[in-house]
Amino acid sequence: MRYPNMRQAKQAVRAIERRFPDSDCKILDWRDSGYGIRILPQAMDPYTIAMEDIPGLPKGTFLEPGYGSLGLYFI
């Protein structure tokens, strides 16, 4: 998921951190392609985010595994 501007990316990060306080979210700047979010889940099933209606995340958002064993996921 890529957000066209920083404001939308920040809204999504705040929504995730409210719902999953132990998650560590970072906004990724993909230059001309918009912004993404990297999540380092702490005791959180990454697929839970896909199933829940979190304000700031479009319905059907899912996490893409990144860096395998490090537990990083991207929205």
The whole-chain average pLDDT of the chain stands at 67
Statement: residue 52 has pLDDT above 60: no
Please report which confidence band the pLDDT of residue 56 belongs to, taking 50, 70 and 90 as the band edges.
Answer: low
- d(CA 31, CA 18) in angstroms, rounded, equals 27
Instruction: Provide the Cα torsion 74, 68, 26, 39; round to 10°.
Output: 70
Statement: residue 13 has pLDDT above 70: yes
Please report which confidence band the pLDDT of residue 68 belongs to, taking 50, 70 and 90 as the band edges.
Answer: very low
* Domain layout of the chain by residue ranges: 6-74
